[in-house]
């Protein structure tokens, strides 16, 4: 359904220097599938998500191809793109408080999304807005409230109601509910999986939120959750979440996944399986593997050239170790 | 793990309430409701609870940034609540609070050396040369390269800045470090790095930690006691010892 | 809620007026001499006449006495008397104020009418050459002192005979470009900040049309700082044109005020200063009221 190929995105700093933050990414999502993109901040994952709907600022140069249901999103005329946004592909932002207009009642903002895509009567739009709000467990009377009167969890629900209101085929969620505490976050994610049949692209730095999604997906859709692990603008490993949890091959994936599991008993003072060093900075990449400076199992070849991605037991991996 | 088992901090039925609204429509909100808690030397206490449960208020009371309405706070055998404010100030150096989103709380125009030596300057600690030596020592103890000393803090990454903030907090050799969601804004791997560093520092300086966190997954390994607050009351205290 | 707010503002305004009038009295008292100092030098006026004049103007009385006289007179709507014109201050100031207001309101309205569309247009095309040109020219205009600019316009007007000296069009031609660049910059910056907000991006991601995006999301958000700015320009309606009036010879408060200060015409100065203070209070009140109706966050808190 969504097919991203050889995507490269670079920002110019206004002085003629270009920094590539997404460096050659392929991404395929089938209808109803749940795909997670896992990576640290600064790995280019949000840029990737925004580029799909052409929401990046003009200073970003995007190369490659992005196709959605036989339409080329890179060259789609502005009006056709507008009709697609929110209707076919919906977007959920990280901070719901910032993504809702502070001076418009939230119910009106849900209606606005519907009105942008359906030429319905006033009453029918209201009816649909009511339905989508109730679907996410928000009473319609709350629609009269302004964002500052609602809690973080309620705001997040309203934002999801906006995304679900036109029954999109794909929902892109950038760190959904990351401002909430762990149980509330899990509740929100579970609700998204439960309330829609749309394909989901979830961007996150927490493996735990993918785990929640994966359980829901297996239960309700009978599909495994696929994960793309991003590091320094590249996908270093892909595979089903369950498979990665037991047998990840890339040292970065291994560290990332083991960090998020409860390990060691309280009071033991057992060290965590952390990776030393700083996350790669895009302006200072060497010609070798981007992860090489922090890798505990590096080979001489790692510093010399970039590993290409290879297939290995159903996973795709970019590492010389396999 | 060898730890000194004497009590460092004792909070005895501390109560604190705030006034909300204007004077004509004021409401008293009880933030802490007779909280009793002890922290041993060199141990870690984790404080958990929903937002608004009084975690930060308790932390601020212990750090002497807030005066409790009732109850006593004992530190190292002295009743801080009974001391005059001037005498209290001496103890402030012994208790350091590392705030939320600490990476953003550093002055971006200052060099790492300036940031770390500031508490030393304020306390008139040694001469300029001694201070520089001490800053270098501190920076290396938190795992930063000595070359970062002359860098502006705006040029450092989030993880490096968190380390720098820890170095600053350690400058006056505190006995207790209060971490108020200090790592929440960092990525998982960086949080893990910093927690490993905290475990090292604890062993080296016999530091006690009071950690406020809403995700216990990472801090679990280093805690000896988990205290849960709910609407200003302690509802659970689990002690783990080995 | 709104009533208590208004009541509080009224108290503030009264306090402000008291302080401003007292300050003005005190400052004039500290300045050497009084209205009759120059007259003393005239040998043809006898000391008896001088003394009787002093007595008539109340200059022999103490400062607090004079202040209370003024307050009483202000309460009756007279604001004291002018020594130079020998008439109540209100009757003297009123026509002058109207003519100042005619000038400032016209040029302010004109400046807003030009700046608003131009600023929004420039912000929507941020980085394009018309935008850059606009930014560059506003900095140029801002760096020219008001007086130099006024003189320049005067010279051009005199040479070309396009505009009549002392006429309204000439004065407006001077005053509008003086306030325009600052307005333009604020409007452009306000719209730029508003259009960068996450909720604007979110609305775009929801497929909201560009037209609606601008009129429902960007412009209302940008209006916030602009309302404060508008309040400030209303506050400056009386005081912003004082110098320009003197230069272009507009018969407003400016020349009168200058003359009154020079002649130590006590009550006239205090009257003009108090009047400006009233405008300041009214301008900020207007801005607050507009914000109150535009922003639910203020309305509900």
Higher-pLDDT residue of C146 and B25 is: C146
Instruction: Compute the average pLDDT of residues A223-236.
Output: 91
Task: Kindly list the partner chains of chain C, i.e. chains with 3 or more CB atom pairs below 8 Å.
Answer: A
Of the candidates B11, B81, B71, B21, the residue with the CA atom closest to the CA atom of residue B227: B11
pLDDT at A256: 86
pLDDT at B154: 81
- In A, which residues are within 8 Å of C126 by CB distance? none
Assess whether pLDDT exceeds 80 at residue A217. yes
Residue-wise burial string across C106-139, b where 16 or more C-beta atoms lie within 10 A, e elsewhere: bbbebbbeebbebbbebbbeeeeeebeebbeebe
Contact between chains at C296 and A91 (C-beta distance less than 8 A): no
pLDDT at A106: 93
Q: Is A91 within 8 Å of chain C by CB? A: yes
Nearest chain C Cα to A117, which residue? C207
Q: Of A121-125, A291-295, C39-43, C256-260, which gets the smallest average pLDDT?
A: C39-43
Residues in A 170-189 with any Cβ partner in B closer than 8 A: 181-182
Assess whether pLDDT exceeds 90 at residue A66. yes
Q: Is A247 within 8 Å of chain C by CB? A: no
- In A, which residues are within 8 Å of C300 by CB distance? 146, 148-149
- Smallest Cα distance from C207 to chain A, Å: 5
Assess whether pLDDT exceeds 90 at residue A161. yes
Contact between chains at A181 and B50 (C-beta distance less than 8 A): yes
Contact between chains at C297 and A95 (C-beta distance less than 8 A): no
pLDDT at B1: 40
- Quick: pLDDT tens for A68-86: 998 999 999 999 999 999 9
Range with top average pLDDT, A110-124, B156-170, B172-186: A110-124
CA atoms within 13 A on the CB side of C161: 0
- In C, which residues are within 8 Å of A87 by CB distance? 207
Assess whether pLDDT exceeds 80 at residue A177. no
- Quick: pLDDT tens for B224-235: 888 988 888 888
Contact between chains at A146 and C221 (C-beta distance less than 8 A): no
Tell me how crowded residue C105 is: count the other CB atoms within 10 A of its CB. 12
Which of B217, B218, B222 is the closest to A269 by Cβ?
Answer: B222
pLDDT per residue rounded down to tens, chain C (301 residues)? 677 778 888 888 889 888 988 898 888 888 777 777 777 777 777 888 888 877 777 777 788 888 888 888 888 888 888 888 888 888 888 999 999 999 999 999 999 999 999 999 999 888 888 899 999 999 888 888 888 888 888 888 888 877 777 788 888 888 888 889 989 999 999 999 999 899 999 999 999 998 899 999 999 888 888 998 898 888 888 888 888 888 888 888 888 998 888 888 888 888 888 888 888 888 888 888 888 888 888 777 6
Q: How far apart are CA C154 and CA A255, in angstroms?
A: 76
Q: Is A207 within 8 Å of chain B by CB? A: yes
- Quick: pLDDT tens for B31-51: 888 889 999 888 899 998 877
The set of residues, in sequence order, having a beta carbon less than 8 Å from that of A186 and lying 6+ positions away, is A208, A209, A212
Q: How far apart are CA C239 and CA C182, in angstroms?
A: 17
> Which residue, among A274, A279, A293, would best test binding to B if mutated, counting the most B CBs under 10 Å from its CB?
A274
- Smallest Cα distance from A242 to chain B, Å: 20
pTM value is 0.81
pLDDT at C89: 87
- Quick: pLDDT tens for B71-100: 889 988 888 888 877 777 777 888 998 887
Contact between chains at A112 and C300 (C-beta distance less than 8 A): no
pLDDT at B3: 43
Which of A53, A82, A148 is the closest to C209 by Cβ?
Answer: A82
Q: How far does Cα A247 stand from its chain's mean position?
A: 23
pLDDT at A48: 93
Assess whether pLDDT exceeds 80 at residue B236. yes
* Residue B21: pLDDT band with limits 50, 70, 90: low
pLDDT at A235: 92
Contact between chains at C221 and A93 (C-beta distance less than 8 A): no
> Which residue, among A54, A76, A96, A102, would best test binding to C if mutated, counting the most C CBs under 10 Å from its CB?
A102
Instruction: Compute the average pLDDT of residues B159-188.
Output: 87
Contact pairs from chain A to chain B, CB under 8 Å: 83
> Which residue, among A91, A92, A101, A119, would best test binding to C if mutated, counting the most C CBs under 10 Å from its CB?
A101
Higher-pLDDT residue of A67 and B219 is: A67
Assess whether pLDDT exceeds 60 at residue A60. yes
Contact between chains at B157 and A261 (C-beta distance less than 8 A): no
Percent of chain A with pLDDT over 90: 42
Assess whether pLDDT exceeds 70 at residue B23. no
Assess whether pLDDT exceeds 60 at residue B24. no
Q: How far apart are CA A154 and CA B208, in angstroms?
A: 38
Instruction: Compute the average pLDDT of residues A192-207.
Output: 91
Which of A40, A255, A274 is the closest to B196 by Cβ?
Answer: A274
Which of B158, B195, B214 is the closest to A181 by Cβ?
Answer: B214
Q: How far apart are CA C107 and CA C72, in angstroms?
A: 36
pLDDT at C114: 93
Mind spelling out the 3-state secondary structure of chain A?
A: CEEEEEEEEEEECCCCCEEEEEEEEEEEECCCCEEEEECCCCCCHHHHHHHHCCCCCCCEEEEEEEEECCEECCCCCHHHHHHHECCCEEEECCCHHHHCCCCCCHHHHHHHHHHHHCCCCHHHHHHHHHHHHHHCCCCHHHHHCCHHHCCHHHHHHHHHHHHHCCCCCEEEEECCCCCCCHHHHHHHHHHHHHHCCCEEEEEECCHHHHHHHHHHHHHHCCCCCEEEEEECCEEEEEEEHHHHHHHCCCHHHHHHHHHCCCCCCCCCCCCCCCCCCCCCCHHHCCCCCCCHHHCCCCCHHHHCCCCCCEEECCEEECCCCC
pLDDT at B22: 56
* Residue A88: pLDDT band with limits 50, 70, 90: very high
pLDDT at A34: 93
The pair of three-digit structure tokens given for residue C101, joined into one six-digit string: 């207001």
Assess whether pLDDT exceeds 70 at residue B5. no
- Smallest Cα distance from B153 to chain A, Å: 15
Higher-pLDDT residue of C120 and B24 is: C120
- Quick: pLDDT tens for B102-152: 777 888 888 888 898 888 888 888 788 888 888 988 988 888 888 888 888
Task: Kindly list the partner chains of chain A, i.e. chains with 3 or more CB atom pairs below 8 Å.
Answer: B, C
- In C, which residues are within 8 Å of A93 by CB distance? 198, 201-202, 205
Tell me how crowded residue A280 is: count the other CB atoms within 10 A of its CB. 22
- In A, which residues are within 8 Å of B215 by CB distance? 181-182
pLDDT at B2: 41
Q: Is A100 within 8 Å of chain C by CB? A: yes
Q: How far apart are CA B17 and CA C100, in angstroms?
A: 56
- In C, which residues are within 8 Å of A112 by CB distance? 203, 206, 208, 212, 216
* Residue A18: pLDDT band with limits 50, 70, 90: confident
Which of C202, C206, C296 is the closest to A103 by Cβ?
Answer: C296
Q: How far apart are CA C222 and CA C30, in angstroms?
A: 46
């Amino acid at each position: 359904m969504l097919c991203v190929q050889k995507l490269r995105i670079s920002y110019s700093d206004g002085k003629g220097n270009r920094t590539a933050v997404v460096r050659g990414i392929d991404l395929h999502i089938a209808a109803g599938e749940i795909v997670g993109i896992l990576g640290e901040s600064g790995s280019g994952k949000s840029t990737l998500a925004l580029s799909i709907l052409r929401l990046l600022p003009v200073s970003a140069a995007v190369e490659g191809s992005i196709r959605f249901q036989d339409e080329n999103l890179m060259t789609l005329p502005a009006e056709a793109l507008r009709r697609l946004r929110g209707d076919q592909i919906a977007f959920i932002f990280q901070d719901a408080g910032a993504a809702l207009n502070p001076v418009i009642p939230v119910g009106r903002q849900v209606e606005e999304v519907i009105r942008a895509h359906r030429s319905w009567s006033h009453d029918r739009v209201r009816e649909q807005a009511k339905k989508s709000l109730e679907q996410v467990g928000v009473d319609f009377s709350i629609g009269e409230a302004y964002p500052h009167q609602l809690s973080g969890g309620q705001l997040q629900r309203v934002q999801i109601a906006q995304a679900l209101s036109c029954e999109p085929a794909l929902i892109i969620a950038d760190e959904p509910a990351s401002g909430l505490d762990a149980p509330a976050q899990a509740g929100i994610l579970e609700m998204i999986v439960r309330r829609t049949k749309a394909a989901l692209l979830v961007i996150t730095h927490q493996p735990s939120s993918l785990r929640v999604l994966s359980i829901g997906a297996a239960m309700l859709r009978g599909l495994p959750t696929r994960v793309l692990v991003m590091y320094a603008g590249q996908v270093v490993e892909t595979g089903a979440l369950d498979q990665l949890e037991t047998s990840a091959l890339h040292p970065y994936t291994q560290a990332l996944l083991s960090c998020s599991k409860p390990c060691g008993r309280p009071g033991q003072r057992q060290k965590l399986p952390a990776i030393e060093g700083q996350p790669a900075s895009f302006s200072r990449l060497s010609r070798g593997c981007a992860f090489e400076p922090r890798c505990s199992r590096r080979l001489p070849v790692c510093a010399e050239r970039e590993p290409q991605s290879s297939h290995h037991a159903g996973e795709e991996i970019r590492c010389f170790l396999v | 793990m060898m730890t000194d088992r004497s009590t460092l901090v004792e909070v005895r039925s501390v109560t604190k309430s705030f006034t909300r609204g204007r004077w004509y429509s004021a409401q008293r909100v009880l933030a802490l409701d007779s909280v009793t808690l002890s922290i041993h030397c060199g141990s870690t206490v984790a404080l958990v609870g929903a937002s608004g449960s009084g975690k930060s208020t308790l932390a601020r009371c212990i750090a002497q940034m807030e005066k409790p309405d009732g109850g006593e706070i004992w530190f190292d055998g002295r009743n801080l609540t009974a001391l005059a404010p001037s005498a209290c100030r001496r103890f402030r150096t012994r208790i350091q609070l590392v705030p939320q989103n600490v990476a953003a709380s550093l002055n971006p125009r200052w060099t790492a050396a300036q940031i770390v030596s500031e508490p030393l300057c304020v306390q008139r600690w040694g001469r300029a040369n001694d201070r520089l030596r001490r800053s270098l020592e501190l920076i290396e103890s938190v795992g930063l390269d000595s070359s970062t000393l002359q860098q502006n803090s705006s040029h450092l990454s989030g993880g490096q800045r968190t380390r720098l903030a820890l170095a600053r907090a350690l400058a006056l050799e505190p006995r207790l470090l209060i971490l108020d969601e200090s790592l929440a804004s960092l990525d998982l791997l960086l949080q893990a790095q910093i927690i490993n560093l905290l475990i090292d520092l604890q062993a080296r300086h016999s530091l006690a930690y009071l950690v406020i966190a809403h995700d216990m997954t990472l801090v679990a390994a280093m805690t000896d006691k988990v205290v849960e607050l709910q609407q200003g009351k302690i509802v659970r205290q689990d002690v783990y010892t080995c | 809620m709104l009533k208590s707010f208004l009541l509080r503002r009224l108290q503030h305004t009264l306090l402000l007026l008291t302080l401003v009038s007292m300050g003005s009295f005190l400052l004039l008292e500290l300045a050497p001499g009084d209205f009759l100092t120059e007259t003393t030098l005239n040998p043809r006026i006898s000391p008896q006449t001088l003394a009787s004049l002093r007595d008539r103007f109340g200059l022999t009385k103490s400062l607090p006495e004079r202040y209370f006289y003024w307050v009483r007179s202000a309460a009756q709507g007279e604001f004291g008397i002018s020594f130079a014109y020998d008439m109540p201050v209100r009757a003297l100031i009123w026509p002058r104020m109207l003519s100042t207001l005619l000038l400032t309101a016209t040029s302010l309205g004109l400046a807003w009418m030009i700046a608003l569309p131009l600023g929004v247009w420039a912000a929507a095309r941020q980085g394009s050459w018309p935008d850059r040109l606009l930014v560059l020219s506003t900095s140029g205009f801002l760096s020219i002192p008001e007086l130099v600019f006024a003189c320049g316009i005067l010279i051009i007007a005199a040479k070309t005979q396009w505009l009549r000296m002392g006429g309204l069009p000439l004065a407006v031609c001077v005053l509008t470009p003086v306030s325009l660049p600052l307005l333009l910059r604020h409007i452009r910056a306000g719209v730029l900040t508003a259009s960068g907000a996450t909720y604007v991006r979110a609305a775009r991601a929801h497929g909201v049309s560009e037209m609606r995006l601008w009129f429902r999301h960007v412009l209302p958000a940008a209006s916030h700082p602009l309302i404060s700015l508008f309040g400030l320009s209303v506050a400056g309606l009386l005081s912003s044109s004082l110098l320009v009036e003197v230069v272009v010879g507009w018969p407003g408060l400016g020349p009168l005020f200058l003359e009154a200060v020079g002649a130590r015409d006590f009550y006239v100065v205090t009257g003009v200063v108090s009047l400006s203070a009233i405008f300041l209070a009214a301008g900020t009140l207007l801005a607050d009221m507009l914000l109150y109706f535009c922003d639910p966050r203020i309305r509900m808190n």
